[in-house]
Amino acid sequence: MTEAATSIRHHIKGLVHAQSELIQMLDHLDQHGKVLRGKGGRVAESLREIAADLDLDMAAAPAVTDEST
């Protein structure tokens, strides 16, 4: 793997981790009626697809459901 590919993989992994934490925070706020996630599920699924393509470990990331449908 080239240095650039390794760097991109590292940054994507960081984004996936940050996205996971953001979803957890939004879910916590939503439990108190303060936030509607809207398109969050679709964004999260897009990041999961990227991570899957790069064979990143998503075991630690929570499952995402789009409750708006």
**pLDDT tens sequence across 37-54:** 455 555 556 666 766 776
At 19, is the pLDDT very low, low, confident or very high (cuts 50, 70, 90)? confident
Closest CA to 12 of 51, 60, 63, 57: 51
- Give CA–CA dist 66/42, Å, rounded: 7
Q: Does the pTM exceed 0.85? A: no
Classified as helix, coil or strand, 62 is coil
Distance CA 20, CA 44 (A): 8
Q: Residue 34 has what pLDDT?
A: 54
